[in-house]
Amino acid sequence: MARFPYLDREQLPELERDIFDQLQTQRGTVNNIFRVAAHSPLLLRRMLYFSDGLRNRTKLDPRFRELAILTVGRLTNCEYEYTHHQALAKRIGVRPEQVDKLASWETDPAFNEQERAIIRYATEVTQNVRVADTTFDALRTFLDPEQIVELTLNTGFYNMVVRFLLPMQVDLEPDAKSID
C-alpha cells in the first residue's frame, strides 16, 4: 500500500486540475504514480513535461529506449515500472521474446549486438552510475552524440522514477498486467 493516499482530480488545487485532465486525455487514465506525485503538483507537472520530451521528442530509436527502461525496472526489482514498460515496449516493436528473455540478454540470440550494447549501458548506469569506456565506445559505433545523450537521460530519468516508486510503495494498478 502506498505511503500517501492516491489523489483524485478534485483533491488538487483548482489551478492544477488540468494535470489530471491532460493525463486522462493523453493516456486514457491517471496512473497511481501520478496520483502519488500529485502531492507536489509543481514537480509532477515538471516531471510530465520532461517525460514527454524523453518519450516523444527524441531521435533515439524507441525500442532502444524501452530496452534501457526495462533494464532499469528489472535490475531495481520495480514491478510497477517493469510491468508498465513491458506493454509499451511490445507496442513499439520490442519483440515479446526479448521482453521475456531480458535477464539472459548477454547470451540469448534474441538480442543483437546493438541491443546488447544498450542493455549493458543501462545496466552499468543503474548498478554503477559510471560506465566503462568500452561500454561507452560500443554505443558510438551506432549512435550519434545526441542519441547517446538521449539514452543517458532516459536511463537516468527512469532510475529516478523507480527511486520514487519504491520508497513511496506505489501499487501497480489492478488492470496493469492485462495491458498488452
Instruction: Provide the pLDDT confidence category of residue 62 given band limits of 50, 70 and 90.
Output: very high
Q: Where are the domains of the chain?
A: 9-57, 62-168
What global pTM score does this model have? 0.95
CATH of 62-168, one of 2.130.10.10, 1.10.10.10, 2.60.120.260, 1.20.1290.10: 1.20.1290.10
Question: Averaged over 10-20, what is the pLDDT?
Answer: 98
At residue 152, the pLDDT reads 98
Domains 9-57 and 62-168 are alike in CATH topology = no
Angle between helices 62-75 and 79-91 (to 10 degrees): 160
Question: Averaged over 129-156, what is the pLDDT?
Answer: 98
Determine the residue type at 166.
Answer: L
Q: How deeply is 83 buried, as exposed, middle or buried, from its count of CB atoms within 10 A (0-12, 13-18, 19+)?
A: middle
At residue 177, the pLDDT reads 77
Residue 10 is placed in which grid cell? 478534485
At residue 178, the pLDDT reads 56
9-57 maps to which CATH number?
1.20.5
pLDDT in tens, 78-122: 999 999 999 999 999 999 999 999 999 999 999 999 999 999 999
Mean pLDDT of the chain: 96
